[in-house]
């Protein structure tokens, strides 16, 4: 069967909205357009019903109570609310003072976690940023070693967006509960892919996003634990007092309905989907690594999401790789794809050398990925690497036995 181009292998960046989700959203545009905050007429009540259903669908996917779901504009907002909101609520000293409390995070978190944490550092909080080991997995022991008497918040992502590695969230949560520390996890890449139970997994605050799990963009949620322990947050967005006062603003009803439907579908389908995508990923990895030397799969071999792989290709550069596989949508850790000249900080934090960090591609499979697409991708990637190595002075030098780390490069 001929493969249809272009091929989308960037599902960790965003996913196509499932047509069933779009279908579910339409009535919220066309018919049920009331403001769920309007308590005194039918239009409002009907919208509120839609939101209630969605709240239950989201809660069910993560084992939460529907009252614990706060709708937001996406995971970035959820992270900001969780981190800034918890820090402000649990600060040991008022604003303007120093040593207001200690916060733990990790160097390979998403910027939507790191930047709020860095903001808090300026606002008088003490920050520990854990350096991940080479396999990328943050363990409970690492968090334990960083804990202090004044630690108020730990924020560690569930699965990493660039390399798919899975941190020891349930154990980190258990540790935090023992110590009476609030635990937040950015679960953007995790929820909808992997079974989640906020109670068994000891999570207090959990960020999730619609568009990473076949829902619409512009909508997400924050789970906020209500019992054992009850977690409180200071609101960031203030106004009409929606979402129990934690997030004001008229609810994005169509988006919320879409998020709910996406969660319902994930709950039904993710186990079979994960198994299918895992087989495709293994095929992809084996197909590529079996035909090329000097390639490296980044991150822990097993503790990784089923649908995502990040591979470094020695002696070739990431952007030229992307040009060579231009019919396949992938993501590069290369500096040349962005305005900054720094290669991926995530790979660097794992100790991947700058040269290999420049040469890495992330490929993430999704609901509509096929066997044929994987076959085509293997062929294209192998061909591209071989072509670019023909061009690469580094590959020549390596093959002639020159140690590249000992060459005196003229950095510019």
- Binding other proteins (rule: CB under 8 A), the pick from 14, 139, 289, 320 is 320
* Cross-strand partners of 191: 194
Residue 410 CB, nearest distance to other proteins (Å)?
Answer: 5
Stretch that binds other proteins, among 44-52, 165-173, 315-323, 375-383 (CB under 8 A): 315-323
Q: Kindly determine how many residues on this chain lie close enough to bind other proteins according to the rule CB under 8 A.
A: 34
Q: Where are the beta strands (DSSP E) in 43-198?
A: 69-72, 102-106, 126-130, 151-155, 182-186
**Is residue 317 at the binding interface for other proteins, with CB under 8 A as the rule?**
yes
**Is residue 313 at the binding interface for other proteins, with CB under 8 A as the rule?**
no
Residue 205 CB, nearest distance to other proteins (Å)?
Answer: 38
Q: Which is nearer to other proteins, 308 or 384 (CB)?
A: 384
Contact 72, 247 (CB under 8 A): yes
Half-sphere exposure (Cβ direction) of 326: Cα atoms closer than 13 Å: 3
Distance CA 169, CA 303 (A): 12
**Is residue 406 at the binding interface for other proteins, with CB under 8 A as the rule?**
no
Annotated active-site residue 266? The verdict is no
**Is residue 173 at the binding interface for other proteins, with CB under 8 A as the rule?**
no
Q: Which is nearer to other proteins, 302 or 409 (CB)?
A: 409
Backbone angles phi, psi at 194, to 5 degrees: -125, 145
- Binding other proteins (rule: CB under 8 A), the pick from 60, 115, 269, 355 is 355
Q: Which is nearer to other proteins, 160 or 344 (CB)?
A: 344
- Binding other proteins (rule: CB under 8 A), the pick from 158, 315, 350, 363 is 315
**Is residue 334 at the binding interface for other proteins, with CB under 8 A as the rule?**
yes
Stretch that binds other proteins, among 75-83, 169-177, 222-230, 392-400 (CB under 8 A): 392-400
Provide the edge-to-edge strand list for the sheet that holds 69-72.
Answer: 69-72, 220-224, 205-209, 182-186, 151-155, 102-106, 126-130
> Beta-carbon neighbour count of residue 286 at 10 Å?
11
- Binding other proteins (rule: CB under 8 A), the pick from 112, 343, 352, 384 is 343
- Binding other proteins (rule: CB under 8 A), the pick from 205, 322, 352, 385 is 322
**Is residue 341 at the binding interface for other proteins, with CB under 8 A as the rule?**
yes
**Is residue 121 at the binding interface for other proteins, with CB under 8 A as the rule?**
no
**Is residue 396 at the binding interface for other proteins, with CB under 8 A as the rule?**
yes
Distance CA 335, CA 81 (A): 30
- Binding other proteins (rule: CB under 8 A), the pick from 354, 371, 372, 383 is 354
**Could you tell me where the DSSP H helices lie in 63-138?**
75-90, 111-122
C-beta pairs of 62-67 under 8 Å, 24+ apart in sequence: 62/187, 62/191, 62/196, 62/197, 62/198, 62/206, 62/208, 62/223, 63/196, 63/197, 63/198, 63/199, 63/200, 64/198, 64/223, 65/226, 67/226, 67/244
**Is residue 327 at the binding interface for other proteins, with CB under 8 A as the rule?**
no
Half-sphere exposure (Cβ direction) of 43: Cα atoms closer than 13 Å: 7
Residues designated as active site: 336
Contacting positions for other proteins (CB under 8 A): 315-320, 322-323, 334-337, 339, 341, 343, 353-355, 358, 390-397, 400, 402, 404, 409-412
């Amino acid at each position: 069967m001929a493969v249809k181009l272009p091929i989308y292998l960037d599902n960790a960046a965003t996913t196509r909205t499932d047509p069933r989700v779009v279908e579910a959203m339409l009535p919220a545009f066309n018919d049920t357009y009331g403001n769920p905050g309007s308590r005194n007429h039918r239009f409002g009540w009907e919208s509120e019903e839609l939101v209630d259903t969605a709240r239950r669908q989201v809660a069910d996917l993560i084992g939460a109570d529907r009252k614990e779901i706060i709708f937001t504009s996406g995971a970035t907002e959820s992270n900001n609310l969780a981190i800034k909101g918890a820090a402000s609520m649990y600060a040991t000293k008022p604003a303007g003072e120093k040593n207001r409390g200690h916060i733990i995070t990790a160097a390979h978190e998403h910027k939507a976690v790191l930047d709020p944490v860095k903001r808090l550092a300026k606002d008088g909080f003490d920050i520990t940023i854990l350096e991940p080991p080479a396999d990328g997995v943050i363990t409970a022991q690492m968090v334990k070693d960083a804990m202090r008497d004044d630690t108020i918040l730990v924020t560690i992502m569930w699965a990493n967006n660039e390399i798919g590695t899975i941190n020891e969230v349930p154990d980190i949560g258990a540790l935090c509960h023992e110590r009476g520390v609030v635990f937040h996890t950015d679960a953007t890449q995790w929820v909808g892919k992997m079974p989640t139970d906020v109670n068994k997994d000891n999570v207090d605050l959990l960020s999730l996003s619609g568009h990473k799990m076949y829902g619409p963009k512009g909508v997400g949620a924050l789970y906020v634990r209500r019992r054992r322990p009850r977690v409180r947050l200071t609101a960031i967005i203030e106004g009409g007092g929606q979402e129990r006062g934690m997030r004001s603003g008229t609810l994005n009803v169509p988006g919320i309905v879409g998020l709910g439907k996406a969660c319902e579908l994930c709950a039904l389908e993710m186990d079979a989907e994960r198994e299918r995508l895992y087989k495709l990923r293994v095929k992809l990895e084996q197909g590529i690594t079996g035909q090329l030397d000097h390639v490296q799969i980044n991150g822990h071999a097993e503790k990784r999401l089923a649908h995502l792989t990040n591979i470094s290709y020695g002696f070739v550069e990431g952007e030229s790789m992307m040009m060579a596989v231009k019919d396949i949508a992938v993501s590069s850790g290369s500096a040349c794809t962005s305005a900054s000249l720094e290669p991926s900080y995530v790979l660097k934090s794992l100790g991947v050398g700058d040269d290999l960090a420049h040469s890495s591609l992330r490929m993430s499979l999704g609901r509509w990925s096929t066997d044929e697409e994987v076959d085509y991708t293997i062929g294209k990637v192998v061909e591209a690497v071989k072509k670019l190595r023909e061009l690469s002075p580094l590959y020549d030098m390596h093959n002639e036995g020159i140690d590249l780390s000992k060459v005196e490069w003229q950095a510019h």
